[in-house]
A and B are shown apart, each in its own frame.
Chain A
Amino acid sequence: MPLRSVEFHVLLALAAEERHGYGLLQEVAALTGGELQLEPGTLYRALHRMLKDGWVAESARRPAADLDDKRRRYYRLTPAGRRAASAEAERLWRLVTVARAHRLLSRA
């Protein structure tokens, strides 16, 4: 079964660094060139599911004090989340290979 799109995007957005909720929304938008504009509710439902599944966790660390808004909650990727993301990436990669073999993809 493929991973849900929202969740895969959130995992990708967390791959580089820990982020807080609104930061995630912005990063997802950036990753997709502005195509996927998640709303907070959708994001947090995905986050909530992945928290329960142990794919993401709340981060104890905070960025430098001057940048930090005290109340923000930051999230990080867990090893399980990393495995799930890479499994999905693998799956997509295999699909891309197939697509390319059938000349569905013009770029290299």
Chain B
Amino acid sequence: MTEGTDVSCRSAAGAKADRRIAWWLVWAYPPRFRREVGLGLVDAIEDRMRARREAGASALGARVPAILDTMRNAPAEWMATLRATLGVRLKPGTTGDGNPPHEMSGFSRTSGGRTVIDKLMQDVRYALRLWKRRPGFALVALLTLALGVGANTAMFSIVNAVLLRPLPYAHADRLVVVWGRQPGNPRSLMAYREYDALRAQNHTFDELSVFLGQSVNLTGVSEPQRLLGNFITGSLFDVLSLKPERGRLFTDAESQPGRAKTVVVISHDFWERTFNKDDGAIGATLTLNGNPLTVVGVLATPFDSRTVPADGFFLGYDVYIPAGLFPVPGGLTNAGPSMLMAGRMKSGVTLSAARADFDVITKRLEISDPKSQAGRSTNLELAHETLVGDSRTGLMLLLSAVGAVLLIACVNVSNLLLARAVDRQREIALRAALGASRLAVTRQMLVEAGLLAAVSAGVGLLLGRWSLQALTWLRPPNVPIPAEIALDQSVLLFTAGIAIVVAVLCGLAPALRTSRPDVSRVLQTGFRRGSGTGGRTRDVLVVAETALSVALLAVSGLIVQSMMALQHVNVGFDTANVFTLQFRLPPAKYPKPEDIARFFKQTIERVQAVPGVQSVALVRRVPFSGNWGDTPFVVEGRTAAAGSEPRAGQNMISPDYFRAMRIPLLRGRDFTDRDDLQSPPVVVVNQTLARTIWPDDDAVGKHIKVPESPEWLTVIGVVGDAKHRTATEPALPQLYLAHYQVPLIFSSLVARTAVPPMSIANDVRRAIWSVDKDQPVWSVASLDDIVARSHGSARFLASLLAIFSGVALALAASGIYGVMSYSVTERTHEIGIRLALGASAGRVLREVVGRGLALTSVALLIGIAGAAGLGRLARGVLFGVTPGDPATLAAAAGLLALVSLAACYIPARRAARVDPVVALAEE
């Protein structure tokens, strides 16, 4: 009994489920079908399922056939409905109600007229036939559009990867970079003790960390190597939510100065490169900067770092070393601002709340330690902004440029289609007169434009991918473009959107034009083409594209001028024939300043002996190498409130540096070998510092003091100004200390050569290794290259814009030529009559050219206005030229006027040579 009840319960439940399934299945059919026979179908499905169960089928066995049945029939019914609806709607003769014509014949039920799909397919076939008949037209149109789409796809991919996609860390929207803010420098480094205080006292951050990337020497292996090291607090791993791939990461406690453990975490790449992905790496010892460190873990890269802009900011290092091991005299806790800081805000905290929180803490710090903290506060910005903010203007400018190119391409194609539509006008009018629907012709135009758009979007996507590859090869080092740019959903959507825009832009004018032909007029003109028809539309199009090219050309001109201005900036030193390299002495091997000074002196002597070397010197920071530092200083006899002391860029150099760099010595003397640890400390200042501090007096002999030096420094010389970070920076005060008096482990070597600088590279390396065979060197480069590289992003921008505006110019020229040439062909008959009646060829020529130039001048006016707008957008990347620079605008307009004159002249000459007899005989 119990068993029977159980079974019946189960089958009752099963039957209920069957009915529900039947309902669901019927939902797959079109609404009208459901309304009319849906209930019956539900019953039938249910009955069939029950019958199958009763015949012994399992629940599955009963339901699967029902589902298969629906999968076969529901789509078929949808198709039938669609065909019927569209077919009826587009065929006015059909009534659409229950008395279809086929009932008369008895059996035919498939006709019902051609459906929209049939018609569309026919239009597609027709378009393809047209293309086949005029392959030149199709090829030009497709290529033009594909280039436009391709350029847009490529640029958008970059913009997407750089500006739109979040950084690939967990909670990337809450990652914040914290800079120190002080008078004259809103983006200074942070001090470790500031980090301690901020981390302990803030209420707005989940975690804070400091870090600084610095090269480290790996020794104790077959040959000394320079590794990219990142000195970090353990909390950085938490800020970025990083995980180990093998072993473990280190904690904040293990990275504290004074208590730092001798551990190191290595990157996946380094693990692969050096340990061949061997698990034995964990526990191995790496001698870094002379300290034996135990490898405790391999960092799992949270993403493919090659797809990330500026991946080197947080990651992209070989080894992660506890911050406490950072090589700084006196220990990190006592050091001044020397680290970068980043943190992850708590969920729901805004940037301004975090700023307010930090302001309170820095104010407290300033009160408790007025000497070192005076005037210092913090400057918080989203990490994404720090990484990509500077490239925004350039990228948006490039995106607008390719957008303009695409618009011009669309206008050209639209013109081509329009010209053909006008050619067909008589045929169209005739068909309309005979009762054919105008819609059919318009639809054909739109279908052709759509087809053009679809094909060119496909080809453009491919072109875009290829050009992206080319772009990433060209990628200058200081543009944050990822090495690999993924073709993701947003890019595909963008390209699809572009295709729709292209279809509309290309198809609209011709479609509108053909949708209202003036039947009687067109037919009255007889077999000649109606003159002037479609002319207005074409004029507007040609003006639009010319205006766009002028604007683009003008902005590119501005950027190229900035680029040239950059290259011709007087940087204050002679970049030609200078060889440079960098090195860092391991502190364990060179514990005393005397040891370092000895290495310096010996190195200079040996390198001086290399053939081809004229003069050689050491310098802490090579200009334009990215290394930079500044310092506050006190002037003897003057008082300044703490925090508001004058500041100057600071560098340490050996004697002969000015000679090697050809920085002019204006007064006093250069350092000599005798300015060493035993002699009184001296300083050389630049012209700007001398002029600002002692405007009416001789700087030589004056005294200043910097924080590093307890004694007063005597100014012994004044040299010319030299740019240090960028060519665009204004002249800044700069002071030079004697490297022998402040011997730091990090330095660079510069050598002026009589031969091509890179040719001495191996000899210089050997010379250094003859002093210390374990000493790695890196950044071997000529000064020319270093300075040129700093213009990388400007050159990148300028060359891309130049390419785009060149393409735009070519497209505009062909557009103008096309329109003028078409209008001449169209007017051949009229010109023939006029020539027959005695008009001179010169007059005809002047008229045609005049019409072209009239169009061009309207376009120039609009274009110049547009250029002024675009120029404002470009303001941030301009240098040495104003956005409205009249010369540039005039040059762009002039160039376009010339091009359009040429484009008009060829058809005009053809018009002037029209043979009246032939032209009139055409009728």
The interface of chain A, by Cβ under 8 A from chain B, is 1-4, 20-22, 25, 39-45, 47-49, 51-54, 71-73, 80, 83-84, 87-88
CB contacts (< 8 Å) of A3 on chain B: these are 107
How would residues 30 to 66 of chain B score, 1 for a CB under 8 Å from any chain A CB and 0 otherwise? 0001001101110111011001000000000000011
CB contacts (< 8 Å) of B51 on chain A: these are 22
- Chain-A contact segment, one of B69-77, B153-161, B248-256, B762-770: B69-77
The answer, among B40, B103, B105, B107, for a CB contact under 8 Å with A20, is B40
CB contacts (< 8 Å) of A2 on chain B: these are 107
Establish whether residues A41 and B103, one from each chain, have CB atoms under 8 Å apart when the complex forms: no
Residue of B nearest to A91 (CB): B107
Nearest 9 A-B pairs (CB), nearest first?
Answer: A41-B73, A22-B47, A21-B44, A39-B69, A40-B44, A44-B41, A41-B69, A1-B107, A73-B40
15 inter-chain pairs at a CB distance below 8 angstroms, sorted by A residue, are: A20-B43, A21-B47, A22-B44, A25-B44, A39-B66, A40-B41, A40-B45, A41-B41, A41-B69, A44-B41, A45-B33, A45-B77, A45-B80, A53-B100, A54-B98
Establish whether residues A25 and B72, one from each chain, have CB atoms under 8 Å apart when the complex forms: no
Other than A39-B48, A42-B72, A48-B36, give 8 A-B pairs with Cβ distance below 8 A. A20-B43, A22-B47, A39-B69, A40-B41, A40-B45, A42-B73, A71-B39, A73-B37
Alpha-carbon distance A28/B99, docked complex (angstroms): 28
Min CB–CB distance B218 → chain A (angstroms) = 73
Min CB–CB distance A5 → chain B (angstroms) = 12
CB contacts (< 8 Å) of A88 on chain B: these are 107
Asked if B108 is at the interface (CB within 8 A of a chain A CB), the reply is: yes
Establish whether residues A53 and B109, one from each chain, have CB atoms under 8 Å apart when the complex forms: yes
The answer, among A1, A22, A39, for a CB contact under 8 Å with B65, is A39
Tally inter-chain residue pairs, CB-CB below 8 A.
88
Min CB–CB distance A89 → chain B (angstroms) = 12
Residue of B nearest to A24 (CB): B44
CB contacts (< 8 Å) of A83 on chain B: these are 106
Establish whether residues B108 and A1, one from each chain, have CB atoms under 8 Å apart when the complex forms: yes
CB contacts (< 8 Å) of B70 on chain A: these are 41
Establish whether residues B73 and A48, one from each chain, have CB atoms under 8 Å apart when the complex forms: no
Establish whether residues A42 and B69, one from each chain, have CB atoms under 8 Å apart when the complex forms: yes
Report the interface size class on chain B: 20 to 34
Residue of A nearest to B68 (CB): A39
Alpha-carbon distance A102/B69, docked complex (angstroms): 39
Alpha-carbon distance A75/B239, docked complex (angstroms): 73
Counting chain B CB atoms within 10 Å of each CB, which of A2, A41, A51 scores highest?
A: A41
CB contacts (< 8 Å) of A80 on chain B: these are 103
Min CB–CB distance B436 → chain A (angstroms) = 29
Establish whether residues B41 and A21, one from each chain, have CB atoms under 8 Å apart when the complex forms: yes
The answer, among A4, A47, A54, for a CB contact under 8 Å with B37, is A47
CB contacts (< 8 Å) of A47 on chain B: these are 37, 40
Q: Is the interface of B mostly helix, strand, loop or mixed?
A: helix
CB contacts (< 8 Å) of B110 on chain A: these are 1
Establish whether residues B69 and A87, one from each chain, have CB atoms under 8 Å apart when the complex forms: no
Establish whether residues A73 and B47, one from each chain, have CB atoms under 8 Å apart when the complex forms: no
Residue of A nearest to B22 (CB): A40
Residue of A nearest to B51 (CB): A22
Residue of A nearest to B105 (CB): A1
Residue of A nearest to B97 (CB): A52
Min CB–CB distance A18 → chain B (angstroms) = 13
The answer, among B43, B68, B72, B99, for a CB contact under 8 Å with A72, is B43
Establish whether residues A48 and B98, one from each chain, have CB atoms under 8 Å apart when the complex forms: no
CB contacts (< 8 Å) of B39 on chain A: these are 71, 73
Min CB–CB distance B266 → chain A (angstroms) = 63
CB contacts (< 8 Å) of A53 on chain B: these are 98, 100, 103, 109
The answer, among B103, B105, B107, B108, for a CB contact under 8 Å with A54, is B103
Min CB–CB distance B550 → chain A (angstroms) = 62
Establish whether residues A21 and B43, one from each chain, have CB atoms under 8 Å apart when the complex forms: yes
How would residues 104 to 117 of chain B score, 1 for a CB under 8 Å from any chain A CB and 0 otherwise? 01111110000000
Say yes or no: A22-B41 contact (C-beta < 8 A), given A51-B36, A53-B100: no
Alpha-carbon distance A51/B32, docked complex (angstroms): 13
Alpha-carbon distance A36/B40, docked complex (angstroms): 20
Establish whether residues B40 and A44, one from each chain, have CB atoms under 8 Å apart when the complex forms: yes
The answer, among A22, A40, A51, A54, for a CB contact under 8 Å with B66, is A40
CB contacts (< 8 Å) of A51 on chain B: these are 36-37
Alpha-carbon distance A22/B22, docked complex (angstroms): 14
Establish whether residues A48 and B33, one from each chain, have CB atoms under 8 Å apart when the complex forms: yes
Alpha-carbon distance A54/B98, docked complex (angstroms): 7
How would residues 275 to 314 of chain B score, 1 for a CB under 8 Å from any chain A CB and 0 otherwise? 0000000000000000000000000000000000000000
Min CB–CB distance A14 → chain B (angstroms) = 14
CB contacts (< 8 Å) of A21 on chain B: these are 40-41, 43-44, 47
Alpha-carbon distance A18/B68, docked complex (angstroms): 28
Min CB–CB distance B432 → chain A (angstroms) = 35
Min CB–CB distance A87 → chain B (angstroms) = 5
CB contacts (< 8 Å) of B72 on chain A: these are 39, 41-42
Alpha-carbon distance A54/B188, docked complex (angstroms): 86
Alpha-carbon distance A62/B74, docked complex (angstroms): 29
CB contacts (< 8 Å) of A52 on chain B: these are 98
Alpha-carbon distance A94/B73, docked complex (angstroms): 32
CB contacts (< 8 Å) of A48 on chain B: these are 33, 36-37, 77
Residue of B nearest to A40 (CB): B44
Counting chain B CB atoms within 10 Å of each CB, which of A40, A44, A49 scores highest?
A: A40
Which residues 675-701 of B have a CB within 8 angstroms of A? none
Alpha-carbon distance A43/B99, docked complex (angstroms): 22
Say yes or no: A87-B43 contact (C-beta < 8 A), given A22-B48, A45-B77: no
Establish whether residues A40 and B108, one from each chain, have CB atoms under 8 Å apart when the complex forms: no
Residue of B nearest to A4 (CB): B109
The answer, among A43, A73, A87, for a CB contact under 8 Å with B107, is A87
Alpha-carbon distance A83/B103, docked complex (angstroms): 11
Establish whether residues A40 and B48, one from each chain, have CB atoms under 8 Å apart when the complex forms: yes
